[in-house]
Chains A and B, each alone.
Chain A
Amino acid sequence: MDWANVAIQGVLLGGLYALFATGLALVFGVMRMVNLAHGDLGILAAFVTLFLVQSLHMGLWWSGILTVVIMFVVGYLLQRGLLNFTLSSDDTRPIVVTFGLSIIIQNGLILWFSADSQGLDAGKIENISIRITDKLSIGWFPLLVFITSIVVVALLQTFLNRTKLGRAFRATSDDREAAELMGINNRHIYGLAMAIALAIVALAGILLAIRTTFDPTQGSFRLIYAFEAVIMGGMGSIWGTLIGGIVLGVSQTLGSQAFGSGWGLLVGHLVFLTVLAVRPSGFFAKTVTA
C-alpha cells in the first residue's frame, strides 16, 4: 500500500486523459461544438494502427505516424463534409449527429475487427520501470505518455498564442462574423481545428492501445473521462485540461487503492461531480462564454 506510488501513477494516467481531453476542449473552444464521437475517433485511430501493423506489417512507429496523419485528414473532411452543416443556432443537431457517428464507429469497428479486446505491442518499452527510491518506481511508458501530453499541450498553447493561424483560431472563437471580415474563412478554420483535435486524439488512442487493451466500445469511456477533465480544468484553458486530467487520474488510482479496484472509476466520477457542484467553472476558467 504505497500511496505515493499510487498517486504518481494517477498523475501519469492523468496525462493520457489530458491527451484525450485536449482535442475535445479545442473543438469546443473554437466552434462551441461538443463531439460525442471524440472518444470513438481515438479508438478508431488505435484500430487503424493495429490494421497497419497487423495486416500491412508496417512497424509500430510508422503506423502510428501515418495514423495521426490520416486522422488529421479525416478530421478536416469530417468537419467540412458533415459537421459544418450541423452548426447553426440550434444546439441539438451536432449532439444528435455526433452521437449517431459514435454508434456508427463503434458498430463498424465491431463488424470489422470483432468485439474482442486488442492490444498494440510496443515491445520492451512497455515493461521497463525507472526506480526512483526503494519503494518508488515509475513505468517508463506511462512517464513517456505523460511527457507527451505536456509537450502537446505546450505546443498547442504556443500555436494558439504565437502563430498567425492560432490567432485566427482565437479570433474565430471570439466572434465568427468579425473574423470573416478580417479575411478568415470560418469553415476552413473549423476544419483545421477538428483536424488538429483528431490528430491529438489519434495519438492518445494509439498510446492507450500500447499501454493497455482496447476494444470498440472503449470510446464512450474515453469521452466521459475527457469531458470530466475539461470541465474540471475549466473551459477556455488548455493547461487547465491537463490539471483536470491529473486530478481525475489521481482520484481514480487513489480510489482504487482505498476501496478496491471496482470503485476507482466511481471515485473519479464522484470527484468530478463534487467539482461540478462546488466550482462549476472549473479550476482555471478563462472566459465565461456561453
Chain B
Amino acid sequence: MSTQDFRVARSTRVHRYVLIVSVIVVAVLASFPFWAEVAFLRTMVTFFTLLALAQMWNLLGGYAGLISVGQQAYIGLGAYGLWLLADVLHIHPFVAVILAGSLAVLVALVFAPLLFRLRGGYFAIGTWVVAEVVRLIVSNIQAAGGGSGKTIISAARLPIDTRINGTYLLALGVAVGSILLVYFLLRSRLGLALTAIRDNELAAQSSGVNVWRSKLYVYLISAFGCGIVGAVVAMNLLRIQPAAAFSINWTAYALFIVVIGGFGTIEGPIIGTIIYFTLLQNLSQYGTTYLLLLGVIAVVMATKAPRGIWGFVVKRWDIHLFPVRRRLVLEEPSEPGGPAASTSGPVAEAS
C-alpha cells in the first residue's frame, strides 16, 4: 500500500475571479461620493450597516451556533460610545466611530461569563436580558440624555459634504471590513475551532479545543462589530435614542437577513441583505405589515429551507465564492528524482 502525498489547498481559479470582481465592485462603490446624490449615499449607508450587522450576527449564530437576540445591546452601546468619544472626549467623530466598538467589547466582557452558563434558547433570552439591562441603565443616566437621547453635536458641526461622504466611506469600510474579518477569522485556527464546536461541542472539547475561550472571542468580536455598526448608524442619523438604539428590531433584521440568505456562510448574509434591502425600499411604508411579512418569511424559510438561499445554491451547484474551506489535493506519487504532479480538484472537502 502506498500513501499519497497531499496538500491542503484553499483557493481555486473561481476564487481568483471572485477576488478581482470584488475589488472592482468595492472600487466602484468607493467612487460614489464623487457623483451620487446625497439621498442615495445615505440609503447606501443603511445597506452597508445592515450587511455588517448580518455578518456579525451570523458570526455568532451561524458559525458558533450561539443564537443571540440581544446584539442590539452592542449596537446601542456603539452609538453611545460615539457620543461619549466624540462629544465628551472631543475625539474626531470619524475616529470615534472606529473606537466606539471598544465600549461594546468592555460591556460584552462583563456579561459573557454569565451568559455562557446558559445554553440554546435560554442563552438567547439571556442575551435579551442583557440588552434590556443595558437599555434600562443607559435610559436612566440623565447625563447621557436619559430617555430622550442625545444629538451627536460634533458630527453635526462637520461640513455637510465631509460628513455625508465620510459617513458613507466609513459605512463601506465597515461592511467590507466585516466581510474580511469573518473571512480571515474562518481561515484561522479560531475558525477551525468554531466549526468543530458547531458540529459537536463535546468532541471538540475532547480534541483540545478550548470551547469556552473560543466562544468568548467570537462573542467579543461580534460585540465589537455591532458596536461599530451602531456608531455608523448614529453618525448617519446624528441622533441617538435608547428606544431605537436598543430596539429588538435590529435582531429581527439580522435574523431575517441570515435566515433568508443562509446561515454559516459569508455569501449568505450578502444575498440576504440585498433581498431584505430591496424589500425594505419597496414595502417599508407599510411598517407593521412589513414586519409581519418578515416574520412569516422567516418562519417559512427556517422551517422549509433552513440553510437559506445560499445554502440551496451550495447544495445544488457546490459553489463557494469565498475560499474559507479546506480542500484535500492529492499529488501523484513522485518518481525518484522527478517533480511531483498534482491532481487538483476537490477530492475530499473539509469545511
Which of A86, A103, A107 is within 8 Å of B302, CB to CB? A86
- Can you list 29 A-B contacts (CB < 8 A)? A34-B121, A34-B125, A82-B303, A86-B303, A91-B119, A91-B120, A92-B61, A95-B124, A96-B67, A96-B302, A99-B252, A100-B259, A100-B295, A100-B298, A100-B299, A101-B299, A103-B252, A103-B291, A103-B295, A107-B292, A111-B288, A224-B125, A231-B122, A265-B132, A266-B136, A270-B133, A273-B111, A276-B117, A276-B126
**Cβ of B289 under 8 Å from chain A:** yes
**Cβ of B85 under 8 Å from chain A:** no
> Is the pair A34, B120 in contact by a Cβ cutoff of 8 Å?
yes
Q: A82-B303, A100-B299 are in contact. Are A269 and B136 (CB under 8 A)?
A: yes
**Cβ of A165 under 8 Å from chain B:** no
Residues on A facing B (Cβ under 8 Å): 28, 32-36, 82, 85-86, 90-104, 107-108, 110-111, 220, 223-224, 227-228, 231, 262-263, 265-266, 269-270, 272-273, 276-277, 280, 290
Q: A266-B133, A272-B129 are in contact. Are A107 and B295 (CB under 8 A)?
A: yes
Produce 1/0 per residue, B132-170, CB < 8 A to A. Answer: 110011011000000000000000000000000000000
Q: A92-B61, A92-B263 are in contact. Are A107 and B306 (CB under 8 A)?
A: no
> Is the pair A273, B292 in contact by a Cβ cutoff of 8 Å?
no
Q: A104-B292, A107-B292, A269-B132 are in contact. Are A96 and B121 (CB under 8 A)?
A: no
Main secondary structure of the interface of B (DSSP, over half): helix
4 closest residue pairs by CB, A with B? A34-B121, A103-B295, A100-B298, A104-B295
Main secondary structure of the interface of A (DSSP, over half): helix
**Cβ of B33 under 8 Å from chain A:** no
> Is the pair B302, A93 in contact by a Cβ cutoff of 8 Å?
yes
Which of A28, A36, A111 is within 8 Å of B292, CB to CB? A111
Contacts of A276 in B (CB 8 A): 114, 117-118, 126
CB-contacts of B290-312 with A (<8 A): 291-292, 294-296, 298-299, 302-303, 306
Contacts of A98 in B (CB 8 A): 121
Q: A110-B288, A262-B140, A273-B133 are in contact. Are A95 and B120 (CB under 8 A)?
A: yes
**Cβ of B234 under 8 Å from chain A:** no
Question: Which of the listed residues A36, A103, A107, A272 has the most CB atoms from chain B within 10 Å of its own CB?
Answer: A103
Contacts of B292 in A (CB 8 A): 103-104, 107-108, 111
Q: A82-B303, A108-B292 are in contact. Are A103 and B298 (CB under 8 A)?
A: yes
Contacts of B133 in A (CB 8 A): 266, 269-270, 273
Question: CA separation between A228 and B118, bound complex, in Å?
Answer: 12
Nearest CB of A to B242, in Å = 12
Contacts of A104 in B (CB 8 A): 292, 295-296, 299
Question: CA separation between A270 and B114, bound complex, in Å?
Answer: 12
Nearest CB of B to A167, in Å = 26
Nearest CB of B to A266, in Å = 4
Produce 1/0 per residue, B268-304, CB < 8 A to A. Answer: 0000000000000000000011011011101100110
Nearest CB of B to A170, in Å = 21
